Homo-oligomer: A and B are copies of this chain.
Amino acid sequence: MIKLLVVGTVAYDSIETPFGKADNVLGGSALHFTNAASFFTDVGLVATVGKDFKLSDIAFLKDRNVDLSGIKVDEGKTFRWEGKYGYDLNTAITLKTELNVIENFKPHVPDDFAEADFVFLANIDPVLQSHVIDQIKKPTAIVVLDTMNFWIENRFNELMDVMRRVDMIVVNEAELREISKEHSLVKGARKIMTYGPTSVVVKRGEYGVMMMSGEELFLCPAYPLEDVFDPTGAGDTFAGGFMGYIANMGDASIATLKQAIITGSVMASFNVEDFSINRIKGLNYPEIKGRYGAFRNCLQFGDIAFD
């Protein structure tokens, strides 16, 4: 039985950064998410790929208790994304998007996946995200939403319909501002909470993460890397670490959510050290725990003590 369901994309990416180039490498929101989350919990992945996709390349995930039976192989080619980054590694420039099999993607959640306690709706058409929620069987399931500027601009009403049905959203700064029409992140997060979600997680790239959950605000800088090699998938890897940790703990208390934000940040910091899913693929638990501890040491301090 899986604990965490993710629905999104599995893709082939071609990426150019100031540090190198990689062609037709594994990518996609659901794959980056799963790669990270599977260190912490049993994941079920729902996505579609084309006949050209080499399933053997992701078979290693089975050893980490990922159920790949929700991947549908369709006639046609796998979704492809081509992008590059300048020295400002915060912003990707999309060179080409080939939707291919994604164009007819209608996510089907297998029966045993539908009982998951935790659900992540990676960035796809909000109409499809609603369709996934329709298939969830546990009324207590914690559902987390991601999206992007394209849907905010072209499917706003449909996105708002999904928003009313989820527990949390995970977005970047620009998306938060575009949805809420507020410049201040605090005001923006508070506004989004009036739409339905009880927690809002804002990804700020090299500046870290802000979370508002109920009345609680949590701030986390990014892990201070000396070099960022390829930022592709950092946001989805963050979400995977975040939700994987929550599913592992089995609760969404504020204490758990804070630790989950740090875990997600740690996973994202590993992801950007190499192209594609490579760094996380080869990761181990001592490395995760070691970096969590080192990160915590950079962030903890005592109470004020002046006379």
Contact = CB atoms under 8 A, between A and B. Distances in A.
Given A217-B224, A262-B304, 4 more contacts: A218-B301, A293-B304, A296-B303, A299-B301
Interface residues of A, number: 46
30 contacts: A184-B225, A185-B224, A186-B224, A186-B225, A187-B226, A204-B207, A207-B207, A207-B208, A207-B221, A217-B224, A218-B298, A218-B301, A219-B221, A219-B299, A221-B221, A248-B307, A249-B305, A249-B306, A255-B301, A258-B300, A259-B301, A259-B304, A259-B305, A262-B301, A263-B304, A288-B304, A293-B304, A296-B303, A299-B301, A300-B300
Given A224-B210, A224-B217, A289 B304 contact: yes
Contacts of A255: 301-302
Contacts of A293: 303-304
A259 B299 contact: no
A167 to B, nearest CB: 20
Copies of this chain in its oligomeric complex: 2
Contacts of A305: 249, 259
Contacts of A218: 298-299, 301
A40 B307 CA distance: 8
A39 to B, nearest CB: 8
A287 to B, nearest CB: 12
Nearest to A206: B207
Contacts of A302: 255, 258-259
